[in-house]
Every structure is written in structure tokens, then in C-alpha cells.
């Protein structure tokens, strides 16, 4: 069975990636005890290993790789970097929604550590195991928010920290793609589309569902476009088809869950 490490697998899209019986899954989470949805999954699937790791703490990821290595004999086929900070209370903020510049700076720096340095930490930590496999696939879960054409097409002036920092992560993935190309790696960024993850958002569930509705109506009002969120199941099923079909020609691309290179709605 192929092996996948899913970084940030406690809930939402990552949880769905981890909920599979036909592969060996290493579900890396920063709080294994508190990841109740994932613990339920691991109780049903013996192939799902819950492993501790926080993407802002590089040494915790190095420890995670040791645990993976013990199960796989030193290899890993696929790395799916999904972890990100999408705190519903802050993620939709625009430049004017911070109390002052100090608050804005602090929010950006804290998000940068998770959403941009996080994937660099995860790829670097798992690289020795990925190099030992013949598969050599790295998928960073991206977002349409990080695309400048989408920003214009959907008139998205808000979600500033999230969008700018995910854009930095997109470039980081491209840098890894170029760096690792001659070793036979395929490194891509993959957009999941808009996904309603409120069902596993715990106390933020209602606020997240309301924010997604508000976001969809504001896009509709500004552009006339209908944006309907998918379920995590729908999005991940589509993403897995893209991941299963990855080829060397995809290396370095920003792909969309429906296949092909990411392109904004119009
Ligand atoms: N949902 C969408 O519509 C959408 C659209 C475009 C792109 N995306 C992308 O898809 C990915 C998943 O989004 P989602 O909606 O599923 O988000 P989510 O439900 O908020 O889940 C985020 C995941 O990241 C984990 N995480 C956060 N900080 C972490 C850290 N320091 N170390 C390890 N794990 C950490 C969370 O763990 P905890 O439970 O410990 O917080 C959680 O498992 C993200 O990369 C996001 O940018 C989502």
C-alpha cells in the first residue's frame, strides 16, 4: 500500500484526506489528544497512524518523521501539506479591519509562521523519507485566494493576511519543484476549491458556516458569480484523482481540484 503523510489532519479537508482505508496514512496533528474526529477515524481504520507534529515547531516534525520511518522502513511515498491557520475570527479581515498597524503586523507574522514557513518545515523534514521512495510526490494544498487573477475576478479585497501568505507558500512549492526536479520529484500546489468544513470546526462551526454564506453572497453581489461550497468528501475525492494522475510534466504547477492548471472563475 502506498504511504501518505497528511500534515494537519485533525479536521476539515485534512481529516478527509486521512479517512482512507486503502493506503497507509500518517495523520500529523499538533494536538493528537484533542483531535477527536481523527481519533474516531483511527479507531475504525488500522492503517491510519496518528502522529504528533506542529508545523511551526520543526523539531516536532523531525520527531514525526522518525515515527513514520519506523513503520515504513525509512520511506514515504506522498506528502500532503494541508495545515493552515484559517481562524474564522480573523481570516476574512481586510487591511482596515485591524485595530492598528501593530495588530496587523502581529497577525501577519503569526499567520506567516503557520501558512508559509509551515510547508517549508514539513517538506524539509520529510524529504529524506520521500527521497527513499520511488514515488516522490509532494502536494501543498493551496487556495484560489493566493491567485492574483482570482483576486481581481472575484473582487476579493479582504482575507489579506491569508491570501498574501498562501501566495508566499505557492512560491515556496515552486522553488522546491525546481530544486527537486532532477531527482524525479513532482511538487505541486493544489487548490481544493471552496469547501464547507464547518461540520468538524467544533465551537467555530456556526460562525464558519455563516461566514461562508456571507462570502458567497458578497461574491454574488460584486460579480454575479455563484460560489457554492463543496463538502470535504466531494473536494477530496476530486483532489485524489488529480494526485493519482500526477506526472513529471505537472512539476511546479498550481493545479485545481477539477484537474488542470488553476484558473479563476469568470
Ligand atoms: N476550506 C476551504 O474552502 C479552502 C479553500 C481553499 C484552500 N483551502 C486550504 O485547504 C487546507 C485545509 O483547509 P480547511 O478548510 O480544511 O481548514 P481547517 O478546517 O481550519 O483545518 C486546518 C487544519 O490545519 C491544522 N493546523 C493549523 N495549524 C497547525 C499547526 N501549527 N501545525 C499542524 N497543524 C495545524 C489544524 O489543526 P488544529 O485542529 O490543531 O487547529 C487543522 O487540522 C488549508 O491549506 C487551506 O488553506 C481551504
Quote the pLDDT of residue 152. 94
Burial (0-12, 13-18, 19+ Cβ within 10 Å), 113: middle
- pLDDT tens across 106-147, in order? 999 999 999 999 999 999 999 999 999 999 999 999 999 999
Using 50, 70 and 90 to split pLDDT, how confident is the model at 5?
very high
* C-alpha 89 – ligand 1 centre gap (Å): 14
Catalytic site residue from 93, 136, 137, 166? 166
- Cα 101 from chain centroid? 28
Query: For residues 232 and 240, what is the distance between their CA atoms, to the nearest angstrom?
Result: 12
What domains lie within the chain, and their CATH numbers?
3-256 (3.40.50.720)
Query: For residues 125 and 29, what is the distance between their CA atoms, to the nearest angstrom?
Result: 15
Using 50, 70 and 90 to split pLDDT, how confident is the model at 265?
confident
For residue 113, indicate whether it is catalytic: no
Q: At residue 264, does pLDDT exceed 90?
A: no
Atom of ligand 1 nearest to the CA of 83: 24
Q: At residue 160, does pLDDT exceed 90?
A: yes
Catalytic site residue from 116, 162, 191, 198? 162
- pLDDT tens across 184-215, in order? 999 999 999 999 999 999 999 999 999 999 99
Q: At residue 44, does pLDDT exceed 80?
A: yes
Give me the chain's average pLDDT, please: 97
Mean of pLDDT values over 161-181: 98
Quote the pLDDT of residue 79. 99
Mean of pLDDT values over 61-76: 98
Residue with the smallest CA separation from ligand 1 atom 29 is 83
Mean of pLDDT values over 63-82: 98
Query: For residues 171 and 166, what is the distance between their CA atoms, to the nearest angstrom?
Result: 9
Residue with the smallest CA separation from ligand 1 atom 46 is 84
- pLDDT tens across 230-263, in order? 999 999 999 999 999 999 999 999 999 999 999 9
Verify whether ligand 1 is closer than 6 Å to residue 194 (CB atom): yes
Check the CA dihedral 87-215-14-134 and report its sign: negative
Amino acid at each position: 500500500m502506498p504511504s501518505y503523510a497528511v500534515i494537519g489532519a485533525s479536521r476539515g479537508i485534512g481529516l478527509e484526506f486521512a479517512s482512507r482505508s486503502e493506503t497507509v496514512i500518517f495523520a500529523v496533528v499538533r494536538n493528537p489528544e484533542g483531535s477527536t474526529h481523527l481519533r474516531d477515524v483511527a479507531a475504525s481504520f488500522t492503517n491510519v497512524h496518528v502522529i504528533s507534529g506542529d508545523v511551526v515547531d520543526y523539531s516536532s516534525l523531525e520527531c514525526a518523521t522518525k515515527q513514520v520511518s519506523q513503520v515504513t522502513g525509512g520511506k514515504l511515498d506522498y506528502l500532503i501539506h494541508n495545515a493552515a491557520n484559517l481562524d474564522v475570527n480573523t481570516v476574512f479581515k481586510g487591511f482596515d479591519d485591524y485595530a492598528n498597524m501593530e495588530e496587523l503586523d502581529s497577525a501577519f507574522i503569526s499567520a506567516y509562521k503557520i501558512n508559509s514557513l509551515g510547508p517549508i518545515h514539513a517538506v524539509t523534514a520529510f524529504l529524506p523519507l520521500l527521497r527513499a521512495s520511488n514515488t516522490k510526490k509532494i502536494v501543498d494544498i493551496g487556495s484560489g485566494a493566493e491567485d492574483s487573477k482570482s483576486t481581481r475576478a472575484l473582487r476579493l479585497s479582504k482575507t489579506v493576511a491569508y491570501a498574501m501568505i498562501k501566495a508566499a507558500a505557492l512560491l515556496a512549492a515552486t522553488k522546491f519543484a525546481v530544486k527537486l526536479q532532477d531527482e524525479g520529484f513532482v511538487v505541486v500546489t493544489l487548490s481544493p476549491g471552496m469547501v464547507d468544513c464547518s461540520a468538524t470546526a467544533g465551537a467555530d462551526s456556526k460562525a464558519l458556516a455563516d461566514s461562508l454564506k456571507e462570502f458567497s453572497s458578497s461574491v454574488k453581489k460584486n460579480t454575479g458569480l455563484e460560489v457554492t461550497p463543496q463538502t470535504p468528501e466531494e473536494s477530496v475525492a476530486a483532489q485524489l484523482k488529480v494526485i493519482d494522475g500526477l506526472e513529471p510534466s505537472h512539476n511546479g504547477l498550481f493545479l485545481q481540484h477539477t484537474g488542470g492548471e488553476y484558473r479563476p472563475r469568470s
